[in-house]
Structure 1
Amino acid sequence: MINFGLSRISRLLESTVLPWRAIHVAGTNGKGSVCAYVSAMLNAGGIPVGRFTSPHLIDRWDCITINEKTVAEDLFLETEQKVKNFNLAADIGASEFELLTATAFTLFAQQKIKIGVVEVGMGGAEDATNVIQDPLVTVITKIGLDHQAFLGNTVEDIARTKAGILKRGIPCVVDGTNTQQVLASIHEKAIEKCAGALFRVPLDGSEKLAKVWDILSKDDYEHHQQTHIMLAYEALSIALNSTQTISENLQLLPAVRNTVWPGRLQTVSIKDLTGRAQPILLDGAHNVQAAEVLDSYVNRRVRLTNDPVTWVIAVSSGKGVQDVLTCLLKPHDRVIACEFGAVSGMPWVQPVKAKDIVSVANILGLHNASVHERSDAVSALGIATRESQGGPIVVAGSLYLVSDILRAIRAATNPKSG
């Protein structure tokens, strides 16, 4: 169940002092990556930092980190139970995401972090994370069509909704690769909210950009990753403006090299699951914008031979299956459709039926394509392993599918953790 509004989260946190300041990140795509980069650099600088992103990937608590380490399970469960008890006692009626947000923010206070890097769950002004009233800086990443039923039918509407996190006098860093219409919508909202300065990145040819890529190797990153790094660095620089010099901020950049954001262009082995020797690619691309990025990557880095790509696909209900498949599939590719399992803490998230994905793939008219359906991710990987005959396999369509596969890999590798 998705409930917007700040009344319930405000009541959940009414007795909790939030002594930390935030870097608050909204957008359609790239939010999590920006949060990961910022958090890594803050941690490298010895600044106590907490990170809250959503959804979780494998375990419910892995969406919360303290100083770049996932919060301990027992500490998470203990804090969550206290939040839930208060919710019941005070008859607040908070949603699952509001309870999770309150748990994360309470943990940040308990662990005495200095800066919280917080990803918006959905939307902006009425998202539970927007209980943050005095952030150090806000960030708006790439805006695209997603969650239209909740956020608006056009990218301009969605941009205005997400720009609801802007605050009076607080600067905002904006992904300058957005369309002019989106940038205009954000600018209008900034005026309405009396926000601080808007910093548009990347600033091609700027001295700051040159210094960043003097330290990092630009060729090591995809174009969208380069933008995410610049967004993160600009946000970091603004957040630490009063305490650190430019040279000190630049010294934190190498932390980006070791930043891993699972489920996004991630290469993994499924040998313990299916016996396949070759690694596969996982990406949670679930909307057109993300699918276009994945398609570009696959065309340049994966389609290196004449072998077709074997796709393992699952999609959340309400997403544009045909739009995503149209972006990804090429003639002679194979499709194995499946369904992800129940999502812990988010019972409203349901998969599109595998047979319906197959129907869409058939409508697209793949030439000589092999199209199968299997009910679960592991079975689909087994079919993909046999069908691909060592050729490339890419898993996409839903981060929840990626979660199922990573969870299965962990269980196969270390049965005690499953």
Structure 2
Amino acid sequence: MNYTEALGYMKKAAERGSVLGLSRITELLRLMDNPQDKIKTVHIAGTNGKGSFGAMLTSVLKSAGYKVGGFSSPAITKVTDSFRIDGEEIGEQDFADIIGDIAPICESMDEKPTEFEVLTAAAFELFVRKGCDIAVVECGMGGDTDSTNVIKAPVLSVITNVQKDHGAFLGDTIAEIASHKCGIIKQGRPVYFGGNSEEVYEIAADTAKKLGCELFIPDYSQFSWSDDSCTINGTELIYKGEKLHIPLLGTYQRENAVNVLSCIEILRREGIDIPESAVRQGLADVKWHGRFEVISREPLIIYDGAHNPDGIRCAADSIRRYFGDKKVVLLIGVMADKEYGLYADMLGELTDTAFAVKPDNPRALDSKSLAQALTERGMRTLPFEDYAEGARAALDYAKKQDMPLIALGSLYMYQQFTDALKDIINK
């Protein structure tokens, strides 16, 4: 099977929709000789922060000399971007080879796996084939019924935080959502909770107690930072007296780094050797796309994949941190199932004009509806049916007003945005 054929098969699997539950993925992996049981795994659930956490931890483990597999979603550029070895996206042929081997197994099943289940199985098989020492695996959505939740004994389960998101699948309350995410906690295995909700902590603690697990939380007495520790050049914090630099932007990256450093201590207790030099080097070398990423410095263009109210709040905090009272230009595209009406309250004071576009996704909200909702709440927003036209208009306005351009609202928009910029620059 070549890459085009593999994409064709994944399109066929996607037509089966999204169906929660573990019966299909469990059967598929059984037919594949259970590759998920052959690799040490750190399993991550949470509403926000999973990607940055995974990227930092992967970089540190790589610096410590381990071969590290990674699986995350959604793919930011193309499907191969969900699969990483030592932080690097896999090649098209690697993807095609694995899908080519898995597809006949899927087709032999009475109940065919969904797209995400096929991708999950492919990830575990990839890690085994590449000889990974450890894998860092993100939940796609929720936890208990997510297809990644076939890991029987993770080295560590991590819950970064819990906010309202995916209400149609996970519930309308924090407690309901937390109960799903705590489903990744496994019998007798350590679990880390890095959020700040007392309600979620109590649910995690109760689940851990029932399953005989030790629950860890961050010890903030070990960390400190100054008011100028977040700049447009990266993030710094002091851990156990040593200053650490992280090239990732966003005020939320300090919290992500605290969680990573706390989990490194747990992994050491589990017998994984991680020297201090690897921690320092790994954090300094980390790369991750789409999270307050500087796409261009002249003119200043930033992309942030904030896609729910908590993410937008964090993006707004970062904009204030980096630009103070200076206005910015916003290019926004969202999914229709998000609470996008709230975004105007969080972002309105930061801009005088926003530009609404539609991400290339079946669940995306049309630009006119988004613009109307934001404008009605006091944030002047102009709709553009053509994405490239909207990006060009936003960039032209930003240049004219000498303002930074911030694109945000959905990770699904990242490829569209960077492609549009290339076309604008080339023309």
TM-score range, shorter chain: 0.7 to 0.9
Preserved contact between residue 284 and residue 396 of structure 1 (Cα < 8 Å): yes
Please tell me the root mean square deviation across aligned C-alpha atoms, in Å. 2.5
Q: Secondary structure at the match of 2:94?
A: helix
Evaluate the alpha carbon distance shift between residue 260 and residue 207 of structure 1 in structure 2; reply closer, same or farther with a 3 A threshold: closer
Counterpart residue number, 1:13: 29
Partner of 1:56: helix, strand, or coil?
coil
Task: Decide which of 19, 22, 31 is 2:50's aligned counterpart.
Answer: 31
**Cα distance change of structure 1 residues 187 and 376 upon mapping to structure 2, 3 Å threshold:** farther
Q: Does 1:188 align with 2:216?
A: no
Change in CA separation of 1:297 and 1:223 when aligned onto 2, cut-off 3 Å: closer
Please report how far the alpha carbon of residue 254 of structure 1 lies from its aligned counterpart in structure 2 after TM superposition. Answer: 2.3
Question: 2:248·2:293 contact (CA, 8 Å) conserved in 1?
Answer: no
Distance (whole Å) between structure 1 residues aligned to residue 238 and residue 81 of structure 2: 35
Say whether residues 1:235 and 2:252 are aligned partners.
Answer: no
Q: Is 1:378–2:388 an aligned residue pair?
A: yes
In the alignment, what sits opposite 1:288? Answer: 309
Instruction: Verify the 8 A CA contact 1:212 1:250 in the aligned structure 2.
Output: no
Q: Which residue of 2 aligns with 1:302?
A: 323
TM-score (norm 2): 0.86
Q: Unmatched 5+ residue regions in structure 2?
A: 1-16, 225-236
Distance 1:133 1:72, change over 3 A: same
Deviation of residue 153 (structure 1)? 0.9
State the Cα distance separating 1:95 from its structure 2 match. Answer: 0.8
2:294 to 258, 267, 270: 267
- Report 1:113-192 matches (<5 A): 113-175=132-194, 177-192=195-210
AA aligned to 1:387 is Y
Shift of the alpha carbon at 1:114?
1.3
Measured in 2, the distance between the counterparts of 1:394 and 1:207 equals: 30
Correspondence for 2:397? 387
Residues 408 and 332 of structure 1, relative CA distance in 2, 3 Å threshold: closer
2:372 partner letter? S
TM-superposed CA distance for 1:82, in Å, is 2.0
Shift of 1:207: 8.1
Aligned twin of 2:62: 43
Alignment partner, residue 365 of structure 2: 352
Alignment-mate amino acid for residue 95 of structure 1: T
In structure 1, what is the Cα distance between the partners aligned to 2:162 and 2:22?
Answer: 23
Distance 1:55 1:157 in 2: 23
1:365 aligns with 2:378: yes
CA contact (8 A) 1:138 1:235 kept: no
Q: Corresponding residue for 2:12? A: none
Cα 1:411–1:91 shift into 2, 3 Å: farther
SS in 2 for 1:129: coil
Counterparts of 2:278 and 2:155 in 1: how far apart (Å)?
21
Q: Is the 8 A contact 1:37 1:232 kept in 2?
A: yes
Which residue number in structure 2 is paired with residue 273 of structure 1?
Answer: none
- 1:92 Cα deviation from its structure 2 partner: 3.2
Question: Residue by residue, what CA displacement relative to the aligned partner does 1:75-123 show, whole Å, maximum 9, x if unpaired?
Answer: 1122113222211122331111001111111111111111110000001
Aligned AA for 1:125? Answer: D
- Distance in 2 (CA, whole Å) between partners of 1:137 and 1:179 is 20
**Matched residues in 1 for 2:131 and 2:18: separation?**
30
Q: What TM-score, normalized by structure 1, do the two folds share? A: 0.88
**More divergent stretch after superposition (53-62 vs 394-403):** 394-403
**Cα distance, 1:123–1:210 mapped onto 2, change above 3 Å:** same
Deviations 1:125-156 (A, max 9, x none): 11000011110000001210000111111112
Q: Distance in 2 between matches of 1:207 and 1:250?
A: 18
* 1:173 counterpart SS class: strand
Q: Distance in 1 between matches of 2:177 and 2:86?
A: 32
The verdict on how the C-alpha distance between 1:413 and 1:56 changes in structure 2, with shifts beyond 3 A counting, is: farther
| CA deviation after TM superposition for structure 1 residue 229, in Å | 1.4
Pairwise CA distance, 1:8: 0.7
Aligned to 2:231: none
Structure 2 CA distance for partners of 1:220 and 1:122, relative to 1, 3 Å: closer
Matches within 5 A, 1:214-253: 214-217=242-245, 222-244=250-272, 248-249=275-276, 251-253=278-280
Q: Identify the residue that residue 198 of structure 1 maps to in structure 2.
A: 215
In 2, Cα distance between equivalents of 1:90 and 1:24: 27
Amino acid in structure 2 at the alignment position of 1:9: I
After TM superposition, give the deviation of residue 333 of structure 1 in Å.
Answer: 1.8
Distance 1:408 1:234, change over 3 A: same
Equivalent pair of 2:143/2:180 in contact (CA under 8 Å): yes
SS of 1:130 mapped into structure 2: coil
Tell me how far apart the structure 2 counterparts of residues 375 and 256 of structure 1 sit (CA, whole Å). Answer: 40
Counterpart contact for 1:172–1:199, Cα < 8 Å: yes
Q: Distance in 2 between matches of 1:8 and 1:375?
A: 39
Hey, what's the Cα distance between the residues in 1 that align with 2:419 and 2:80? 14
Q: SS of 1:372's equivalent?
A: strand
- Separation in structure 2 between the aligned mates of residue 382 and residue 152 of structure 1, nearest angstrom: 39
Aligned residue for 2:290, secondary structure, equals: coil
Confirm or deny: 8 A CA contact 1:11 1:92 kept in the other structure.
Answer: no
Identity between Structure 1 and Structure 2 (%): 28
1:78 alignment counterpart: 97
- Bigger drift between 380-389 and 98-107 goes to 380-389
Structure 1 unaligned residues grouped into runs of 5+? 271-276, 343-348
Paired residue type of 1:297: S
**1:224, CA displacement in angstroms?**
2.2
Aligned letter for 2:71?
F
